[in-house]
Structure 1
Amino acid sequence: MSYAIMRHLRRTVILKHQRRAESTMTNLTQEEYVFRPPIAQWNKVIKEAEKIVGYPTSFMNLRWLLSDEFANLAMHLRKIVGSNHPIMKTAKTVLYNEHNNLQPWGLIILLLSKAVASPAHTLQSSNVNEQQRLLAELTEMIRTGHYIHRGLLNIPPKDREWDKDSLFANKIAILIGDYLLVTANGMLARLRNQELSYLISTALRDLSEGEFFGPRDEQNMPLPSKPSKNLTDSYRISCDTMPLEVRDVLGSPMREWTLRALYNGGTLFGRGCQGAMFLANRTVEEEKKAFLFGCHLCLAWQATSDLQKFSESKNSFSLVSAPVLFGLAHSPHLYNKLNMIKNINDVDYLSLKKDILETDALERTKSLYVENAEKAHSYIDLFGDNESTRTIKRMINNT
């Protein structure tokens, strides 16, 4: 099934649910729910990649989009359309899957699997391919389930009596996130591989620990730490499965940004790539290279996303994105504008953006992308020169 057909079917399902709840959509404008496809070049690379692996590989496939469980949750989700709850923004991002929102993790994992696959088509190799496909899909499901759970609002007890809509939206966010995570864990259990389960569990640990790392506002949204010039500015990514190193990280822009990105899914993507090598019975060294490839590619994508959102956003951007952290390090007095804030919505983003643009923050963020993209290139080169690795390189270059 082609990528274009897959998008059309997804769109048909979405519109079907929208028509059923048309009376609740009066606060949406037309452009808010019309699908906007990725840029042409990216779309072309994606199609080439899907030809290699044989089918569309996004976690949002018809098997769960058309399931009775998800259809029921989607109907409840329509009841809160028009509200300001973060779950609506999250749902829009997930459903429309625009170019710089959700990168095709599963597709990359399968391309990497294809790069090291045995040329002989046997029953054993077919079984490995099926296991790798399940791994690719469950990795994306875990990431998205976690992403949806992060869209919860922290409602003070005194407001819970009258803010029923937000309470209901929180319940829907929990249910949808739980549905994806439980489904992913069920897929992982079906692989019946204890070592692979351990690898993925370490990534789940990192996702969880990341939600408690560093200063936070009253909605548990991350805040930057006070810049410090006495800290080293490099972070070594370890291949072992121990918890990530957190000493002397806060206050160093490079180290803090890298650790946050690894917590936010970098190690999950890395373990997905590593798991694909494990299922293919590759060496431990190749597993480590695949893990580092996944981490650095995720970091490159994060740097690109930070640049785009900082450049295009008129209202807000992440306060722990690379441009902000580099800007605060360049001009520490800017930290006074963010110190002791209780809610990130209270920040004067236009003023902060103007001040950061006067620093070298964007140039350093671009260098951050180049550095990690080059490292991802160097690791993927270790898996040979073939159609799959060449396609991965084109995906890196067209980020």
Structure 2
Amino acid sequence: MTPATSLFSPVEADLQTLADNLKQLVGKGHPILCAAAEHLFGAGGKRIRPAIVLLISRATMLEQDITPRHRRLAEITEMIHTASLVHDDVVDESQMRRGVPTVHSLFGNRIAILAGDFLFAQSSWYLANLDNLEVVKLLSEVIMDLASGEIQQGLSRFDSSISIETYLKKSYYKTASLIANSSKAAGLLSEVSQETAEHLYSYGRHLGLAFQIVDDILDFTSSIDTLGKPAGSDLKSGNLTAPVLFALEEKPYLEVLIEREFAQEGDLEQALCLIDDSQGIQRAKELAEDHAKQAVDHLSVLPPSESRQALIKIADYVLSRPF
């Protein structure tokens, strides 16, 4: 499988600059936040979201270099994403993320919440300074969508009646909105046509949905070493994802286990066996493949380039993460 970072070769230098800038942007003047920022942005991560922004920026600016505003947009995108992770980890009471201790496990809930709020506020301030009202509206909507997705997930815990459409809407809010709107924003900063901007939005939307569906499959198929958390963690907490919703159509008893919130000994293990014995995971894979294909189709509006090719390969990478 191609490692994510090797896909980003057209923007490798841009991403290094971004990593250096993020610590500077966030940490200045706040010792605790500086320590949290060093932890957050020093932990690495694949940087897929800012890489997509930078690749779209380069794919739409073939005759000239990308602007400081493109670079700042990529930084804002990573700041918003990171802020949402800090808050998610507090809500989920996660001690580790990708093998690294979470901010709240190191600094406490109070600092983690404040750090997440500070990142959202910082990103909003830098966003306003781009002086592009349409871009400001797009990324402000993302921040609202992230909160909506988290609330929707909290309200639908252990609700076995939710539909695939409801699941996809929540997945859009939590994951795809940021990728879709930042992709479109990068195009707008390059002054592409409105039609091209909509295609870039659709690329990000479908890619984000594919990414989230695959993430949800990995919750059932990955080892704790790969995932950084036990298999079935989402199911245990009542977050019903695509593999579960598809499995429910075949395995009626799964609904009984979910409705009683796995209260009896062996309930969760039995539920995992029922899902494994169904077409749920396979159907979820097919759904992810469909969205990844749709994402790539929307890139046909861009002229051929190394950056466009990298954007296509990212869709392949999303599907090839180890199941």
Please report the TM-score for the alignment, with normalisation by the length of structure 1: 0.66
**Superposed CA offset, 1:83-118 (max 9, x none):** xxxxxxxx78x754455xxx5101111101111115
Match of 1:50 in 2: 11
CA 1:340 to 1:293, structure 2 compared with 1: closer, same or farther past 3 Å?
A: same
Match of 1:366 in 2: 285
Structure-to-structure mapping, 1:237-256, within 5 angstroms = 251-253=162-164, 255-256=165-166
Structure-to-structure mapping, 1:124-273, within 5 angstroms = 129-152=67-90, 169-213=108-152, 216=155, 223-227=157-161, 251-253=162-164, 255-273=165-183
Q: Which of 52, 60, 67 pairs up with 1:116?
A: 60
Q: Is the 8 A contact 2:160 2:255 kept in 1?
A: yes
Question: Which is higher, the Rg of structure 1 or of structure 2?
Answer: 1
Tell whether 2:303 aligns with 1:384.
yes
Q: Is the 8 A contact 1:59 1:138 kept in 2?
A: no
Structure-to-structure mapping, 1:272-283, within 5 angstroms = 272-283=182-193
Counterpart AA for 1:326: F
Tell whether 2:267 aligns with 1:334.
no
Residue 226 of structure 1: CA displacement? 2.7
Tell whether 2:25 aligns with 1:106.
no
Q: Which of 15, 29, 32 pairs up with 1:72?
A: 32
Q: Is the 8 A contact 1:214 1:225 kept in 2?
A: no
CA 1:336 to 1:145, structure 2 compared with 1: closer, same or farther past 3 Å?
A: same
- Cα distance in 2, alignment partners of residues 292 and 345 from structure 1: 44
Q: Is the 8 A contact 2:220 2:231 kept in 1?
A: no
- Cα distance in 2, alignment partners of residues 95 and 345 from structure 1: 42
**Superposed CA offset, 1:261-315 (max 9, x none):** 1010311221101111111111111111111110111111112222222112545
RMSD after superposition: 3.3
Count matched residues: 297
- Cα distance in 2, alignment partners of residues 52 and 169 from structure 1: 35
Please report the TM-score for the alignment, with normalisation by the length of structure 2: 0.80
Residue 58 of structure 1: CA displacement? 5.0
- Cα distance in 2, alignment partners of residues 58 and 345 from structure 1: 47
CA 1:339 to 1:60, structure 2 compared with 1: closer, same or farther past 3 Å?
A: farther
Q: Name which of structure 1's ranges 173-182 and 344-353 shifts more when overlaid on structure 2.
A: 344-353
Q: Is the 8 A contact 2:57 2:190 kept in 1?
A: yes
Instruction: Report SS of the residue matched to 1:213.
Output: helix
Residue 64 of structure 1: CA displacement? 4.3
CA 1:149 to 1:344, structure 2 compared with 1: closer, same or farther past 3 Å?
A: farther
Percent same amino acid among aligned pairs?
23
Match of 1:247 in 2: none
Residue 57 of structure 1: CA displacement? 3.9
Q: Is the 8 A contact 1:59 1:141 kept in 2?
A: no
CA 1:257 to 1:62, structure 2 compared with 1: closer, same or farther past 3 Å?
A: same
Residue 345 of structure 1: CA displacement? 12
- Cα distance in 1, alignment partners of residues 36 and 6 from structure 2: 35
Counterpart AA for 1:200: L
More helix by proportion, 1 or 2?
2
